[in-house]
Amino acid sequence: MSKMNQNGVVMFFTALAFLTATTVSLPSSPDRFLKSALTSLRSPALPQEYQELTLQSPSDHLTPSCSHLLLRHSFANTINKPPFTAPYTPPPSDCASPPWSRVVLDLRAASSGDQYDRISGLWLGGVELLRTSTAEPSPTGIFWKVRKDVTRYSSLFTRSDLNVTMMLENIVNDVYTGIYHINVTLDFYEFNPIEILSRQSPADLIAPVSNDGVWFMIENAEESYSNRIALPLNTRKIVLELYVSSHGNDEFWYSNPPDLYIETNKLATGRGNGAYREVVVKIDGRNVGSEVPFPVIFTGGINPLFWEPVVGIGAFNLPSYDIDLTPFLGMLLDGKDHEFALSVNNGISYWLVDANLHIWLDHESSSVEAGSGFYESPKRHMVRRELLEELDGSFKVEAEVRSEFDGWVKSSEGNLTTMVKSVFKVGSLVKFEKDGAYKRVEQRVETKRVVEVTNESGEQVNRVVQQRSYPRTVITSTLRGLSNDKDMYVLVTNVSQALNERYSVGEALTEVYNRQDSDGWMQVEDHNVLAGEATTRQSLRYIDEFGCYSRTVVAANGEIDQDSSTDTCPSSSSS
């Protein structure tokens, strides 16, 4: 056993000697915590790099034609202030001209001191390019980078009439001292005909569904926010890209008990309303799609010692969700404004939601014909099972949502019918034992969306299938002190989470398996971490028709213990 582990065991049992599992008033768990500089267990001599494990990109090994500065700003005390905004200028003429084979957004960040994690968004002309969050800094400082392929937004990058906007609400005072220094560039890569032909061309236009150029804040299930948008009459295809993140009382919505549990035990938490959420998209009041989003754990969440220096899945680059709305062009191509609305079923305060409409035009005509076909309103089946005995209880949710739409568009490409069929299944368990001191949360979400395009003869032109699954288990044991200090306790936690994806276009199949397993403990006073130990193991695998890639990283007590990768394909794939 290493010296660090020996010390950690001694510290753990020393803390345990003064604690008991019985409790009168439990803290909410999971929760957000702060690694205080005054009680930091370790302080590296130099600033430390943090990272999110991501797949390799072809651009990682290429030199861009040019790197174009998008913004540079330091976010200090920005809470309740307008977002940072500056005029956007297109890349210079000596840079590669569009179409580019690839455009990559490169964000560099640094901070030091005491600070909570913060959510952030980046927009160009009101179109969100990136939803991200910050890492919690240390006294000697941390830094990290985010690289995201933003080629799909190429139609924006040649325009000179747009503003670039970044929202990062931060608090800086005598207690929270961390300032976030952000630098964002766009890397443009010259035209490569092979790469261009291998994927769908970017949309001709992108229209935001946003709150004056930033996200909407949704605080309850009754709230719905919308924009009215008129589509060009020669629109032949439209896809809505949804950005979403949950915060406040709904940051850990997958672990929320029903209100009955809170009211019966007279708990002081607002984290209730059960453990089911669904983000819904409507056009003119008609439900046209929905998502149960992957719940990202930010770097202060559950146990912040888990996320140093490898952060949780999606923490630096939150996933977005595509919903093909082409079947509804028959009702949209009338020259009138139509309402695109966003809401959160069962949501409580608060959710940050917006969307981008990616619009493809028929360049051979000033207008196209379109008509709506089959519309099956989303069918929801939900079963809730609740068992309550004071602070102990078991709460299960099983839900399934199915929908199917189709519609046709007659353009220069022919008369094509687009069918969109989706289904998602959610299974959830929130269980309390030992007078609420032990909490087990289990969730599994499985989604499948099929987009099939056929011609007038019924022949298949294209078929895209996207499947996602995200299983998660969170176990927390709260051990209270025997003293009268009600804000002091030890939290023992285990987290297992995964984001697995299968994506096929025709016969070409891509599979990604991304899993994290974390365990550890921490001594907490109020929301400050005083001591603790933590280990996180992450495995990332990618498989397609050309080959494989896998990487495994183990982080323990803030340092990388193992980091290995290979291009060798396994004998078989599993989630």
Contacts for 112 with CB less than 8 Å, ≥ 6 apart: 47, 137, 138, 139, 140, 141, 142, 178
- Taking residues 52-59, report their average pLDDT: 86
Which pLDDT belongs to residue 96? Answer: 75
Q: Where is pLDDT greater, at 24 or 543?
A: 543
Q: Does the pLDDT at position 95 exceed 50? A: yes
Question: pLDDT tens for residues 357-403?
Answer: 999 999 999 999 999 999 988 899 999 999 999 999 999 999 999 99
CA gap 540, 511 in Å, rounded = 11
Contacts of 65 (CB under 8 A, 6+ apart): 95, 96, 188, 189, 190
Give me the sheet containing 102-111, strands edge to edge.
Answer: 48-49, 142-149, 102-111, 180-189, 66-75
Confidence of residue 94 (pLDDT cuts 50, 70, 90): confident
Measured distance CA(76)–CA(67) in Å, rounded:
26
495 vs 11, more confident: 495
Burial class (CB in 10 A: 0-12, 13-18, 19+), 384: middle
Instruction: List C-alpha distances in Å: 500 to 158, 159, 406, 539.
Output: 35, 36, 28, 11
Across all residues in the chain, what is the average pLDDT?
Answer: 91
Give the model's pLDDT for residue 416.
98
Question: How is residue 211 annotated by DSSP?
Answer: B
Q: Specify the pairing of strand 205-209 against strand 286-291.
A: unpaired
Sequence-ordered list of residues with C-beta below 8 angstroms from that of 474, at least 6 positions apart, any chain: 30, 255, 302, 439, 440, 441, 493, 494, 495
What would the two tokens of residue 342 be?
Answer: 């966003």
Residue 486 half-sphere exposure toward CB, CA atoms < 13 A: 5
- Interatomic CA distance for residues 552 and 541, integer angstroms: 9
pLDDT tens for each residue of 510-559: 999 999 999 999 999 888 999 999 999 999 999 998 899 999 999 999 99
Torsion angle of the four alpha carbons 76, 77, 79, 81, in this order, in degrees rounded to the nearest 10: -90
400 burial via Cβ count (<10 Å: 0-12, 13-18, 19+): middle
Find the distance separating the first CA and the last CA of the chain, reported in whole Å. Answer: 32
**Residue 483's pLDDT is what?**
55
Torsion on CA atoms 247, 249, 254, 260, rounded to nearest 10: -170
pLDDT at position 10, please? 46
pLDDT at residue 575, as a whole number: 43
Question: Average pLDDT in the 120-145 region?
Answer: 97
- Please tell me the predicted confidence (pLDDT) of residue 418: 98
Residue 3 has pLDDT above 50, yes or no: no
pLDDT above 60 for 24: no
pLDDT greater than 80 at residue 58: no
**From 431-435, 451-455, 542-546, the region with the lowest mean pLDDT:** 542-546
Q: What is the mean pLDDT of residues 122-143?
A: 97
Residue 484 neighbours by CB under 8 Å, 6+ apart: none
> Which residue type is seen at 175?
V
- Contacts for 7 with CB less than 8 Å, ≥ 6 apart: none
Helix H or strand E segment including 43? none
Q: Which of 46-55, 69-78, 90-99, 451-460 has the lowest mean pLDDT?
A: 90-99
Residue 61: its pLDDT value, please? 81
Split at pLDDT 50, 70, 90, the class of 573 is very low
The token pair at 82 is 């307008």
Least confident of 75-84, 189-198, 264-273: 189-198
Which of the two residues, 19 and 332, has the higher pLDDT score? 332
Out of 40-44, 145-149, 257-261, 344-348, which region has the weakest mean confidence (pLDDT)?
40-44
More confident residue, 356 or 198: 356
Q: Is 139 in a helix, a strand, or coil?
A: coil
Question: What is the C-alpha radius of gyration for the chain, rounded to an integer number of angstroms?
Answer: 24
Q: Give the β-pairing of 460-481 and 438-454.
A: antiparallel
Q: What tokens appear for 178 in the block?
A: 């961390």
Could you tell me the domains of the chain? 45-202 (2.60.120)
Task: Note whether 340 and 224 are within 8 A (CB).
Answer: no
DSSP single-letter state for residue 301 = B
Asked if the model's pLDDT at residue 487 lies above 90, the reply is no
The alpha carbon of residue 436 and the mean position of all alpha carbons in its chain are separated, in whole angstroms, by 29
Residue 518 in 3-state DSSP?
A: strand
**Cα dist from 345 to 292, 404, 503, whole Å:** 10, 20, 27
pLDDT reported for residue 40 = 54
pLDDT of residue 35: 84
Find tokens 């959710």 and name the residue.
351
Q: What does the CA dihedral 523, 525, 530, 533 come to, rounded to 10 degrees?
A: 30
User: Residues 351, 291: contact at Cβ < 8 Å?
Assistant: no
Tally of residues, the chain: 575
Residue 496 has pLDDT above 90, yes or no: yes
Give residue 228's Cα distance to chain centre. Answer: 26
CA distances from 220 to 87, 143, 234, 434 (A): 34, 35, 37, 32
Average of per-residue pLDDT across 127-151: 96
Spatial CA neighbour of 297 closest among 310, 314, 309: 314
Is-contact 317 305, C-beta < 8 A? no
Residue 496: both structure tokens together: 């297992």
pLDDT band at residue 11 under the 50/70/90 scheme? low
Q: Which token pair is 125? A: 């002309």
290 near 279, Cβ under 8 Å?
A: yes
The half-sphere exposure of 275 on its side-chain side, counting CA atoms within 13 A, is 30
Compute the distance between CA of residue 184 and CA of residue 122 in angstroms, rounded to an integer: 10
